[in-house]
Amino acid sequence: MTGAIAIIQARMGSTRFPGKSLAEIDGQPILAIMMDQLSHCRMLEKIVLAFPDGGEDDPLASPFVTT
């Protein structure tokens, strides 16, 4: 049996709150908090971060890139 996959959609561009995905709450980026919380879910096999391919969204990739 394979586990579920969580897909988090994120982007940096927004008219109301640009950069919201990396905005900090209590010293941690919102995206990191969300990924940490999801990591505790026993039914998840993977967490995937989906974001647009563009220069504006490059900061989303840098802390999470794996090869």
Beta bridge partners of 9: 50
pLDDT tens, residue by residue, 10-45: 888 888 988 888 899 999 998 989 999 999 998 999
Report the predicted TM-score, pTM, of the whole model to 2 decimal places: 0.75
Strand pairing report for 44-50 and 4-9: parallel
Burial class (CB in 10 A: 0-12, 13-18, 19+), 57: middle
CB 29 within 8 A of CB 19: no
Nearest alpha carbon to residue 49 among 61, 37, 33: 61
